[in-house]
Chains A and B, each alone.
Chain A
């Protein structure tokens, strides 16, 4: 059974940093591109970033370029999102999601972790 379990969320002040983790199991992690998708409270979904199966390529939405870094450790089957210079508008639930093989839609999602940026 595919499982994605996020951790690392919480309350953080504007301008500070936070790192999210996503532990994957139930599939061959290093075969799949992975992504982070966020959802502001009572709002819709927004793709944040994607990393290729081997970590060689990364892609970001414009609003997080230069502030967020997606990475992975295939030996640990873990995905990360380093979030720097956080803003109030980054407040959201962040989901770890698996890309369908060679496609840009998401066939499995984690339960999500809440990040609140507030002073």
Chain B
């Protein structure tokens, strides 16, 4: 039973570029949430997707956008990259958008902006 898988594992970009990160949820899960984790900090909630729609969003600018596909996989897109976007981006999946459902995290994509 595959858990949450994220790709790529590492990525290096330069300021102003655009990036797309990908996430496949755990088998049987239909809800995907994205988080940004700066070094030494706790994860910060970016947004959550359920039924192919963004259901809720954290305090992130519009440069951060996403998508969920019919097979429940998801993408996180970041435009006009800034140095401050360097972080570990985590994807978590769960069954349904209710917060009392356990979330399963992937191992993240390490994004470095030069």
Bind each other? no
Interface residues of A (CB under 8 A from B): none
Interface residues of B (CB under 8 A from A): none
